Structure 1
């Protein structure tokens, strides 16, 4: 009996060693399965932007700790701004003891139906993260190209307050809401001028929100709600002489 127990322990230890070698460090059911690739170069060349409405990812504070998500994860842009923790698993290309990485969803990895099936990484129903090269190389070897990963949603930790970049024109105001902490993904935005009532904004695309109201010359306030149901009110974030193309930062964050 004691021999069997010792054998079981040895097998268990052996399995843990193998798991550590390929990067697997948890069996927690809160982790889900996906794959990851990378784009650009080590300095962030071809930094992916666009589908979430973010502009200069370095200027906006996201840097290279970002990813484009496949259709199954992107959710038509509603996941933009959400944060994820990833680990490389079950591959010879996982770097031993690399730990996990954290990224913010900033773009969309579109389906690719015109290529051979082995390149259909982002096609539904696949869950996939297209990382910056820097983030990919932090837990996997370059020659791996594509590796299996475990992932889970985590809270976002951002420096400073929530930021509002005003776009559009006097009759169709558009606002990019970014640098959002907490859940990270915004589900509802309201805007108010100091001479108006609260006005509900519609999602234009990604995290750009719009309203068909002329609020020029008024101080602007916002209510922002995130996917976990939390909301914050930002009073008089933009002064009455605010301008299109300008960014204003609130004093609060989630």
Structure 2
């Protein structure tokens, strides 16, 4: 009998990358990465730089499934309905896979909006959910990522206290200390789960080659992003 396979819900950011890494450490047979590329702002998915998941997948050595996250935005009345539509896009993609699916990995930390929808999706499909970050201490998670050798770049910020200097910055011990201070002062989430910042993992133990970047920064008063002009796998 063939072993059932796992799919990693994957954006290239630190949280989904950590969930994948932990799944591989636990011996789960992850046979696909699945990236949903939102058409615009999303309540369910990481938005910036998802086009780089192809490079990450090549470095990791697991095939990538790309899914366009398009839906009729004019028919959506509120965040809950949009979240439901976005989840259904993912569910359809999982149903279409040519594997015997055992479960999915997800990188949610505290977002009940995301996690409850993914859990309901898993229940509907009769599969398991592996969510190793769920309700863990954010600082301890961040420290574990750095201790494991994750190289994490900040590619988007949108929170009071985070200025243009954070764009392209490596998430290291100094950055975490500053984020803890911003959490105390302004409530900025240390892992950015409220959308305060978004990240890209450029190197990690489960990646054979690092992702190298060339980029410019774009700043709009109180928020900004890294606009990647070139990206490739290093040696």
What is the TM-score with the length of structure 2 in the denominator?
0.29
Higher strand proportion, which one?
Answer: 1
Higher helix proportion, which one?
Answer: 2
- Choose 1 or 2 for highest CA Rg: 1
What is the TM-score with the length of structure 1 in the denominator?
0.27
